[in-house]
Amino acid sequence: MADDKDVLRDVWFGRIPTCFTLYQDEVTEREAEPFYLLLPRVSYLTLVTDKVKKHFLKVMKAEDVEEIWFEYEGTPLKWHYPIGLLFDLHASNTSLPWSITVHFKNFPERDLLHCPCNSVIEAHFMSSIKEADALKHKSQVINDMQKKDHKQLWMGLQNDKFDQFWAINRKLMEYPTEEGGFRYIPFRIYLTMSDRPFIQKLFRPISPDGHTHTLGDLLKEVYPVAIASDDEAKRYQVVIHGIEPLLETPLQWLSEHLSHPDNFLHISVIPAPSD
């Protein structure tokens, strides 16, 4: 049986082979070749695509270039979602590499957040961590940390430094022994078949009578549609980091081991493939 710590490394080093193609209507001086890149599941599109941008800028004039944005099969990709979540949500059961289209014009203002520089990504990332700690520890752990610790979390993510990141993040994964777990579990359940982007509610890892809540318990309470009843065929897949954890998995364990670096469990509910 793999050690729990190995799970943390597997999550951190997950990669998605991706092919970036320039949108055909972009104005270029010569033909743009597609660009291939292994994307880290736990990072953010605008943080890891400098090479992609540089590659396409080589064949474009400066006046034809505005803010970069990415799209998959007509859907603008939200850079503020972790890459692995975007893939699980939109391209889970398709063949690799993941084909993403790159745009430099007509930024979809209503749908996408602007990302003018890395400090915007950092602010967003730290904001998620803070929110997660508000749920887990009433913000006590994050507020007790020094500014340099916060910086180390960000630098660890930005520079793909697992040890540097977890040296600080492990404190955010602790809890008083007598409590048995976090106060509430930071999670979001993402739906593809809804206008609503995600569901986020208050949910405790341990019930008042000491019962350990599982992933199945969470779904039953917050999004029962995701779980098929015994006699019907499974309509949905519940995916975290590209895998379908058993519904019996304790939620506290999932939160400690399968959260993203932003300390949230990002759960995708997608239609099950009909083969």
Partner 1 sequence: MSSCVLDEETFCRCCQLFLEHSHSLCDGWSWQLVKGSEEGYLRKVALGNVRIRTSSNPNQITDQYIQGASSDQRQGRTSPFTPHKENDDDHNDEQYYDDDDGAVCCMQDSRSSGVIQYEYHILYSYSYQTPVLYFRASTLEGRSLSLEEVWDGVHPNYRQRLQHGPWDTITQQEHPLLGQSFFVLHPCRTEEFMRPVLQAALEEHRQVNYVVTWLSVVGPVVGLDVPLSYCTKVPAPSHTSPSPLQPPALQTQPD
* Nearer of residues 80 and 260 to partner 1, judged by Cβ: 80
* Single residue of 53, 105, 124, 151 touching partner 1 by CB under 8 A: 124
Q: How far is the CB of 231 from partner 1 (least distance, A)?
A: 24
Residue 105 interacting with partner 1 (CB under 8 A):
no
Residues shown for the chain? 275
Considering only residues 8 through 37, tell me which ones interact with partner 1, judged by CB under 8 A: none
* Nearer of residues 113 and 228 to partner 1, judged by Cβ: 113
Q: Rounded distance, CA 192 to CA 208, Å?
A: 33
Contact 228, 236 (CB under 8 A): yes
In order, the DSSP letters of 194-214 are SSS-EE-----SB-TTSPBPB
Q: Residue 110: enclosing H or E segment and its boundaries?
A: none
Q: How far is the CB of 146 from partner 1 (least distance, A)?
A: 14
Residue 5 interacting with partner 1 (CB under 8 A):
no
* Single residue of 93, 94, 194, 207 touching partner 1 by CB under 8 A: 194
Residue 149 interacting with partner 1 (CB under 8 A):
no
Helical H segments across the chain, by residue range: 4-12, 45-48, 50-57, 83-90, 118-137, 140-144, 147-158, 162-172, 215-222, 251-257
Helix and strand element counts for the chain (H, E): 10, 9
* Single residue of 7, 48, 112, 247 touching partner 1 by CB under 8 A: 112
**Chain contacts with partner 1 (rule: CB under 8 A):** 78, 80, 109-114, 123-124, 126-127, 130-132, 134-135, 139, 186, 194-198, 200-202
